[in-house]
Chains A and B, each alone.
Chain A
Amino acid sequence: MVRLLHAVLLGLFGAGIVHIAILLLVPEMAERDAWSRMAMASDLYRMTRIDPEAGGPAAVGSVDPLFRAAACRFDLSDGVVRVIAPGNVPFWSVSIYNRGGQNIYSFNDRTSATGLLDFTILTPAQMIELRKDLPEELQQAIFVEAPLDEGIVVIRIFVPDESWDEVVSRYLAGISCTLI
């Protein structure tokens, strides 16, 4: 009887260890995280719609029916990434995620002086290099320093009503995500 109790207690103790071990392993081992789902849908540096309206990968991005979203995967070890969008929309917001889908940095249209979406993602080391000789076309850009290699940038746009649908779709289709 004592030995049975001992076995059960040992089992419960082991259950605690297994619980914690799996919990800490899940983020590393997950095969269906945002990056993997997006990798199935498109290449690096390709802006892809991720909202359910456009048949995006389920659950990734915004589920809010009044929002449309597009995302682009990048790898800063290849170089500096610049994202530009033409035109104006009622509200846009940008989030930068690391490889594991954690939100590293976010900002919205109030951050930009002109309301235009034009920003550059780079590592602190690349920032030092770029500061030495800032190209003319980057004078107005927002610089986002992110200490990471692989990452995802997501742009979310508010659609106040149906009449904005086409404007927002055109806006999202016009966003470029390129290496410079």
Chain B
Amino acid sequence: MLKTAFLTLLTLTIAIGGGTASLWYALRTPDGVGAVTIGGWTAFPEIGTPNADPYSKARVARQGILSLGRAEGLAFVADRDAGGAPLRRECAYRIEGSTPPARFWTLYAADGAGRVVNARDGRASALHSLELLRQPDSSFAIAVDSRPAPGNWLAVSGSGAMRMVLTFYDTPIAGSTGIAEVELPLVIEAGCDG
């Protein structure tokens, strides 16, 4: 009798505990179902649409996100550099390469929780493509650093985990056809403090 009760309790604990825990984990993992990864950058082209998978739908409802529509834009997030190491706010990075066609794009740094990393001294905490200094062949390089850098400088501050968020606005790639062939810039580490 006691053995049956124990086994029933065990079954229920595994079912409820395991089911809840696995779902909680699945909803917290940033690159879950529905993600498209291109050279270290991750995007969710379907998130927030009626075609999204159940995990994206649950994530949207739980976090109260109003995601960008197809005609608005598409955001790519990178939390690792080209070498595969996690991005850190105390390190300096160089972002260079080319971008897919878009009316314009913006770049900012976010912390582990997705909040914007503010620069010291009230500097702009984001860059956009319309103000960028470019090479004659229209390629560009951006320095992400807590110390001033020549050229395009995205100022960051503090320490801890960091993500780069690159959002393309009014872009044909948001219509997900051919998204896999898109080329995105590389995030290259350029030295760390301490």
How many residue pairs link A and B with beta carbons under 8 A? The number is 186
Count A-side interface residues using an 8 Å CB cutoff: 62
Asked if B116 CB lies within 8 Å of chain A CBs, one says yes
Count B-side interface residues using an 8 Å CB cutoff: 59
Q: Given contacts A8-B10, A22-B19, A158-B169, is CB(A101)–CB(B66) below 8 Å?
A: yes
Closest residue of chain A to B22 (Cβ to Cβ) is A19
Q: How far is the CB of B92 from chain A (nearest CB, A)?
A: 20
CB <8 Å contact, B20 and A18: yes
Hey, which chain B residues are within 8 Å of A59, CB to CB?
Answer: 63-65, 114
Q: How far is the CB of B133 from chain A (nearest CB, A)?
A: 15
Separation of A7 and B15 alpha carbons in the complex (Å): 10
CB <8 Å contact, A64 and B167: yes
1/0 contact string of B24-66 vs chain A (CB within 8 Å): 0011000000000000000000001110101101101111111
Separation of A68 and B15 alpha carbons in the complex (Å): 45
Q: Given contacts A93-B169, A104-B50, is CB(A15)–CB(B18) below 8 Å?
A: yes
Interface residues of A (CB under 8 A from B): 3-4, 6-8, 10-19, 21-24, 26-27, 30, 32-34, 36-37, 50, 52, 57, 59-67, 71, 91, 93, 95, 97, 100-108, 110-111, 152, 154, 156, 158, 160-162
Interface residues of B (CB under 8 A from A): 3, 7-8, 10-20, 22-23, 26-27, 48-50, 52, 54-55, 57-58, 60-73, 75, 103-104, 106, 108, 110, 114-116, 124-126, 128, 130-131, 165, 167, 169-170
